[in-house]
Structure 1
Amino acid sequence: MISRKNNPFKTLSALLLVPMILTGCAATAHEDQQPSVVVTTNILADVVQNLVGDQAQVHTLMPANVDPHSFEISAQQAALLNDADLVVSNGLNLEEGLQHQLEAVDAAGKEHFVATDHVQVLNVSGSSGAADPHFWTDPVQMIDVVDALASDLQELPGIQAEQLNEDTQSYRGELTELEQQMADSFNQIPEESRALVTNHHVFGYLSKRFGFRTVGAVIPSGTTLASPSAADMASLAEAIRTSKVSAIFVESAQPDKLARALADEANIDVQIVHLYSESLTLPGEPADSYLKMMQVNTEKITQALRN
């Protein structure tokens, strides 16, 4: 009979458990030593992750399939902002529900990278000078953001500059390739068909880069929190008929009820095409990275307008 006092199996289990505990402690200690980068949007978080790899802890505030204009953070996420070594945000009021917290970050003197400080800002189409925050629809603008972001990331303690530079150059190459892929795809669309109608003004930068006309938006604003009037809908319906628009592009995370009402108002046969314009999807879904999101959108826009 094996004595309960001197059970060899119990002793062996305990000995095997010790290195596991030590490994876990070492991993936790390593993570604690890494800089913390807190990013507001999942699009920018994906970009940051491509640059820093496993050199930093990257925390994303906005989950997949959310509207950045209406998103609000929890108390736990607010604490992450307070403890961050670097906060990365989009800017130009995209994160409308986070303005108070981001202002607090600045007031506390924390390191804060605002992406739209590093782009050639456009105004929202048809607005009276409102700045457009949706710069990422132009991959060339994203390259400028990546260059500036890498410079700030390099200043974080524990970041190896050589590795960061290598990863940054690799990602820049992918963005350059993306821009060429988009141009080649859009070149299949006849010039007279390069007309965009969207659920709100989100593709201004894409339009300028690749030669599209913005006919209008269901919500004539750069934010989804606005709402169209009856006159707005009637005016856009007339513009759709005049321009012979073949598709209305809506955000996949937003209801398409208004877009369908607009199609009925215009009284023409028009496709309702869902794009991933303001948020990435869950892992394993079609737009779970910035590069994939842009590739999927390019394919959908091309298919809808080239015929």
Structure 2
Amino acid sequence: MTSTRRALTALLVATAAGAALTGCAAPAPEATGLSVVASTNVYGDIAAAIAGDAATVTSIIDSPTIDPHSYEANAQDQLAIANADLVIGNGGGYDPFVDVLVEGSGTEAVVLSAVVVAGLLEEGEDAHSDEEEAHSDDEAAEDDGHGHVEGTNEHVWYDIHMMEDVAAAIATELAALDPDNATVFEQNLAAFDERLDELEALLEDSAASLGGGVVASTEPVPAYLLAELGFDDETPEEFSEAIEEGADVPPLALQQVLDLIASGEVRLLAYNEQTASPETERVRAAAEEAGIPVVSFVETLPDGEDYVSWMRTNIEAVAAALAA
């Protein structure tokens, strides 16, 4: 049993004991409608847009200061999953705590994995949090110890086309769970898709005007969006993976990034604020010294943004940085 599983088991025992001691208390009001639990507020926001008032949506991670890669779930998260009708995770090793919670709770909820819906991984091929299972898998997509699946960029929410598929999958599952509100879900999906269509038009116009070129990044979080904008990310993979995994950056990989920054070819540095380190700060300082604009990206919804407005803000930030 992994340390994560042991911790969750202990929390559940404590929760059960607490429930037994308060058995004479007045029962909590029964929730109405479907219960949807999302790993992050990115998927929680999309689910809420589709579900409307027909479901209660809970996002386990709802702050840009928390790294989903290393999040440690608690008993409250476990209970939310246990009582859910639909669970939405990113998959691909990005939010491994979802696997642990689903397996540990015995939930009968439908579980959606965004990387599976997006076609990056097959059902059953997705990364598991259980290290023994991960390291016994000899297939092409191997777990590298941190949960991330090698060869797969799991940050699919930065791809608007993939999120169109995820939204459709959410609507389909909600309609199956609550047929009486199927028309509502269909209408909400159409409204959401209309907003995504506007984003896609903005992407196309921006790509045409920005002119493409080379970019660098501290982590491949916004890679799909930057590719849609016509840019080629030439950051050495060894550097990006080390930052993403919280591992030591090989000196050669760091030097390669600094050489790329100094080459004069890089138009923009994409900087992930949630995984800052001495190495990323050094790269950022080198970019600023070279006069290369730095655009910050985060992995979860900032306060006051919904998914569509957030993606629009990211696109506009890139355009503004290159116009300065």
TM-score by length of 2: 0.74
Partner residue in 2 for 1:52: 51
Change (3 A) 1:54 1:94: same
Counterpart residue identity of residue 311, structure 2? M
- 2: distance between equivalents of 1:189 and 1:157? 45
Describe the superposition over 1:90-130 as per-residue Cα deviations: whole angstroms up to 9, x where unpaired: 1111113444224446x65531111111114299xxx9952
Indicate which of 292, 308, 321 corresponds to 1:291.
Answer: 308
Partner residue in 1 for 2:194: 173
Cα distance, 1:245 vs structure 2: 1.6
- 2: distance between equivalents of 1:261 and 1:47? 36
Cα distance, 1:167 vs structure 2: 0.6
2:115 is paired with a residue of what secondary structure?
helix
Cα distance, 1:249 vs structure 2: 1.6
Partner residue in 1 for 2:321: 304
Cα distance, 1:244 vs structure 2: 2.5
Given that 1:116 and 1:133 are in contact with CA atoms closer than 8 Å, whether structure 2 keeps it comes out as yes
Cα distance, 1:299 vs structure 2: 1.1
- 2: distance between equivalents of 1:207 and 1:250? 12
- 2: distance between equivalents of 1:159 and 1:50? 18
Count of residue pairs the alignment pairs up = 268
Cα distance, 1:306 vs structure 2: 4.4
TM-score by length of 1: 0.77
Partner residue in 2 for 1:229: 250
CA RMSD of aligned residues (A): 2.8
Cα distance, 1:254 vs structure 2: 3.8
Change (3 A) 1:223 1:154: farther
Given that 1:200 and 1:224 are in contact with CA atoms closer than 8 Å, whether structure 2 keeps it comes out as no
- 2: distance between equivalents of 1:248 and 1:200? 10
- 1: distance between equivalents of 2:255 and 2:56? 49
Cα distance, 1:39 vs structure 2: 0.7
Cα distance, 1:220 vs structure 2: 1.5
Cα distance, 1:133 vs structure 2: 1.0
Indicate which of 232, 250, 262 corresponds to 2:283.
Answer: 262
Counterpart residue identity of residue 67, structure 2? D
**Unaligned regions of 5+ residues in structure 2, if any?**
1-28, 122-140, 142-147
Counterpart residue identity of residue 188, structure 1? S
Given that 1:135 and 1:205 are in contact with CA atoms closer than 8 Å, whether structure 2 keeps it comes out as yes
1:271 and 2:299 aligned: no
Indicate which of 217, 233, 238 corresponds to 1:214.
Answer: 233
Which 10-residue stretch deviates more, 222-231 or 135-144? 222-231
Cα distance, 1:135 vs structure 2: 1.3
Partner residue in 2 for 1:142: 163
Cα distance, 1:257 vs structure 2: 4.3
Partner residue in 2 for 1:121: 120
- 1: distance between equivalents of 2:321 and 2:120? 28
Cα distance, 1:34 vs structure 2: 1.2
Q: After TM superposition, list the pairs within 5 Å mapping 1:9-20 onto structure 2.
A: none
Given that 1:199 and 1:259 are in contact with CA atoms closer than 8 Å, whether structure 2 keeps it comes out as yes
- 2: distance between equivalents of 1:55 and 1:137? 27
Structure of higher CA gyration radius: 1
Partner residue in 1 for 2:14: none
Given that 2:206 and 2:229 are in contact with CA atoms closer than 8 Å, whether structure 1 keeps it comes out as no
Partner residue in 2 for 1:73: 73
**Unaligned regions of 5+ residues in structure 1, if any?**
1-27
Given that 1:263 and 1:270 are in contact with CA atoms closer than 8 Å, whether structure 2 keeps it comes out as no
Cα distance, 1:187 vs structure 2: 2.3
Change (3 A) 1:130 1:263: same
Partner residue in 1 for 2:217: 198
Cα distance, 1:253 vs structure 2: 3.3
Change (3 A) 1:103 1:211: farther
Change (3 A) 1:159 1:248: farther
Change (3 A) 1:176 1:40: same
Partner residue in 1 for 2:260: 239
Given that 1:121 and 1:135 are in contact with CA atoms closer than 8 Å, whether structure 2 keeps it comes out as no
Counterpart residue identity of residue 58, structure 2? H
Cα distance, 1:209 vs structure 2: 3.0
Given that 1:40 and 1:88 are in contact with CA atoms closer than 8 Å, whether structure 2 keeps it comes out as yes
Partner residue in 1 for 2:9: none
- 1: distance between equivalents of 2:224 and 2:286? 28
Q: Percent identical across equivalent pairs? A: 23
